[in-house]
A = this chain, B = another copy of it.
């Protein structure tokens, strides 16, 4: 189906161009005309795919979350214990987003101020999808006798809520420069909360992974 493939390619090209322009100009200064020029198409072509600049950028955020979900699914399928997989998934959900905005941390406040309502509206869907992936691993951890908890989906949401404050949306420009610090904060929360899920407390000397 070459037509559909091409349509997807153009769409992806527009989102790639948007990412570069967010780094170069920031959200406020970037126009749909700039995006068209960067892709090498006419402005009308952009409007064949998106209704507005806002929708282009929100779709760019959607794509980041789609790619994150692929990573999370890959971790979920790996062979490590459920606790180790969940720890890595929590670190990944924070650091993947962190890395995704590294080229435009200076102008991120602009973007967040302009798109706050649109972003908050999408966020619920993003979290639902992430929660489902986490809940599967939680259930596996319970089946193997590793974890003990009530409802898997409710517990998955608690894991998301506990790490949501470390997503770029909630960080200052300064904090967005400190990857190691964000990583340490996320690991501290993840370890504390995963520790609470374990059926038996590990001996710190023999199981340093999740304490």
Contacts and interface: CB of A to CB of B under 8 A. Distances in A.
Chain A residues touching B, majority SS: helix
A117 B109 contact: yes
A185 B165 contact: no
A126 to B, nearest CB: 13
Interface of A: 109, 112-114, 116-117, 120-121, 123, 149, 154-155, 157-159, 161-167, 169-173, 175, 185, 188-189, 192-197, 200-201
A197 B188 CA distance: 12
A108 B149 CA distance: 36
B188 A196 contact: no
A68 to B, nearest CB: 17
Nearest to A185: B161
